[in-house]
Copies of this chain bind each other. A is one copy, B any other.
Amino acid sequence: MAEPMTFDAIPQAPNLRTGLVNTLIAQIESGDLAPGQRLPTEQEIVAATGVSRTVVREALAALRARGLITTRQGLGAFVAKDPMPKTFSVLPDDLESIDEVLRVLELRMGR
């Protein structure tokens, strides 16, 4: 497999999830992870960082909620083609995933 990418600590982060989120955002914005490019798998991130898959998944969920990545079951996570739409404003800091909300609304409409 490809050599594990390095995830620097960012010890200023209040928790592991935020640290990983900041790390990935930095890599996306720096172009280290280019638009359309696939991210390392969750397992690879786990191996590279040492954090649990829970933390990795929460971090990916946060990035997905911000539109920075998309995830597809069976395929992986990909850097969004058009990151930073800049239309998201004061989303709550702990917003887990907006598609959850969408799913809820879908269901409540009784499709």
Contact = CB atoms under 8 A, between A and B. Distances in A.
Interface residues of A, number: 47
Nearest to A70: B93
Contacts of A80: 92
A91 B95 CA distance: 14
Contact of A105 (B64, B93, B99, B104): B104
Integer count of this chain's copies in the complex: 2
Interface of A: 10, 12-14, 17-18, 21-22, 25, 58, 61-62, 64-67, 70-71, 80-82, 85-109, 111
Contacts of A71: 93
A71 to B, nearest CB: 7
A67 B90 CA distance: 9
Contact of A92 (B10, B67, B91): B67
Contact of A66 (B94, B101, B111): B101
